Amino acid sequence: MSLFSSLYNLVMQWARHRYATYWLALVSFTESSCFLIPPDVMLAPMTLAKPDKAWFYAALTTISSVLGGLLGYFIGVFAFQIIEPWLYSLGYIETYHLAEQWFMQWGFWAILLAGFTPIPYKIFTIASGVAGMALLPFVIGSTIGRGARFFLVAGLMRWGGQALESQLRKWIDLIGWMMVVLVVIGYFILF
């Protein structure tokens, strides 16, 4: 079934759109405080489509993500009671409590790690505000963690270039279905 190759072709088309950089900035900003889709899904194909702009895209994604992280931080400081039911309804409350524990133990290192890994960064931005983490270490940790992640993604896509795009196009359906199977298995193992 060629579901994923059709989606891949569509995403590559969007990646070349004249407003793609604005959408990348918006997704990067909102993902750090409330949106569910990580910016990597736009950053990778945009870098594949225009490898010469890889470092610009990575920097834009990092800056937008850190600014969005500041929004999450201030949500945690000033409006946690409003979004707490949302954390419950989306099943993020356990992750939030884990983030709280990490902040008590590791502070700066928790936000740096959360910025780099696929752990929902938005949960950590909000938890850092609730925990009263100092703003400067929050910004520095977020910048290092998010920057490392997005520059790594952009660098790999730039390095792979046209050859990687051709290989992805060839294998995308198999990779897509394997990811679906892994997510389902992971769900049953964790829950």
pLDDT score, position 187: 66
pLDDT score, position 161: 77
Q: Domain limits of the chain?
A: 3-190
pLDDT score, position 191: 59
Report pLDDT digits (tens) over 16-37. Answer: 788 889 988 988 999 888 777 7
Q: Break the chain down into helix, strand, coil percent, rounded to 5.
A: 85, 0, 15
Number of other residues whose CB lies within 10 A of the CB of residue 95? 18
pLDDT score, position 135: 93
**From CA 81, how far away is CA 22, in angstroms rounded?**
31
pLDDT score, position 190: 60
Structure tokens at 94: 């356990």
Assess whether pLDDT exceeds 70 at residue 96: yes
pLDDT score, position 169: 67
pLDDT score, position 180: 77
Phi-psi region of 117 (alpha: psi -120 to 50; beta: other; left: phi over 0): beta
pLDDT score, position 74: 94
pLDDT score, position 137: 92
Contact 127, 103 (CB under 8 A): yes
Report pLDDT digits (tens) over 118-154. Answer: 777 888 888 888 888 889 999 999 999 999 999 998 9
pLDDT band at 1 (very low <50, low <70, confident <90, very high): low
Report pLDDT digits (tens) over 150-168. Answer: 999 899 889 987 777 777 7
Assess whether pLDDT exceeds 90 at residue 53: yes
